[in-house]
Amino acid sequence: MKLGIVTDSLAHLKFEEMLKTVSDLGYETIEIGCGNWSSAPHLDLDGLLNSKEKRESYLHTIEKYGMKIDALNCSGNQLAPNKQGEEHRRVIEKTFQLAELLNVKTIVMMSGLPGGNPNDTTPNWITTSWPPENKEILDWQWNEVAFPYWEKTVTLAKEHGIEKVAIENHGSQLIYNTETLMKLRNQAGNMIGMNLDPSHMFWMGADPIIAARSLGDAIHHVHAKDVRFEKGIYEKDGLLDTKTVDRFTERSWNFVAIGYGNPSLWWKEFFSAIRMSGYKGSISLELEDHTIDTMAALHHSTNILKDTIGRNFN
């Protein structure tokens, strides 16, 4: 497995400064945000689509630092029943076009989340079977919105030479765990797999190690991101928390640098489970720790990853 990074983690650095920083630390691959929920600080989607010269220059700069693009990320809510959904679908289609031009074979996305009925204008995440109308909403979301969209999207991805669409198991999305991922994969085909992000599994109560063993070859990409349950808060209020991430002193859980939530021993077992599942791609570090300095989080996380991925980096 290769050491990779989600470049949005270093959004405060200019493109070439970011490349030099991660190359010097031993990173081998990058996952680049193309828009939607990413501000795309390191990629001009329209500019690269419209200029062969810009694409060649872009790739040359990446290669100069010994890096390779492992995936393009266009995560957003393309199933939203409003203008945002339309805008996000356009970015996804452009990202597929760019992937073909850059010879990138993996796209990282989220599943999207529809409204609750044909007249709804806001997404609706159903997480319980009660009240009874929740079942009707879920059936409509899957059968009338998600399945038709994803069947068409898989066909489009194939037309652009994409081999893997890695859907992140994120909350407030129709696909948020192993069961929902496999439901879509069984319908739309094996191009669909998971971008396995253990951080979301932690706060939703799942075990990422067991999930990795269950997913097998349905693991298409992996994010390395940790979570810490905040003592004195989560025991009192539970883990369903709607406070924004900048209010980290008040939240029941927070995204943290690797090792600040779970110890190195846990990460060693997690990466072993992924290897045994047959995954040989990149482990993409994603930094969203608001409790410490970004560069400190980068250096600490890098040291833990090098110690736990199961490779000799010397």
Write out the chain's pLDDT in tens, 314 residues: 999 999 999 999 999 999 999 999 999 999 999 999 999 999 999 999 999 999 999 999 999 999 999 999 999 999 999 999 999 999 999 999 999 999 999 999 999 999 999 999 999 999 999 999 999 999 999 999 999 999 999 999 999 999 999 999 999 999 999 999 999 999 999 999 999 999 999 999 999 999 999 999 999 999 999 999 999 999 999 999 999 999 999 999 999 999 999 999 999 999 999 999 999 999 999 999 999 999 999 999 999 999 999 888 86
Separation CA 145–CA 26 (nearest Å): 42
Reported as half-sphere exposure (CB side, CA atoms, 13 A), residue 149 has a value of 23
Residues 6+ apart with CB under 8 A from 142: 174, 183
The fold of the 2-308 domain, in CATH, is TIM Barrel (3.20.20)
Instruction: Give the pLDDT confidence score for residue 74 in this predicted structure.
Output: 98
Cis check for the bond before 198: say yes or no (omega within 30 of 0): no
Q: Are 227 and 203 in contact (CB under 8 A)?
A: yes
Which sign does the torsion angle of CA 178, 179, 183, 186 carry? positive
Domain ranges of the chain: 2-308
Name the token pair of 110: 């989220």
Angle between helices 52-64 and 83-102 (to 10 degrees): 70
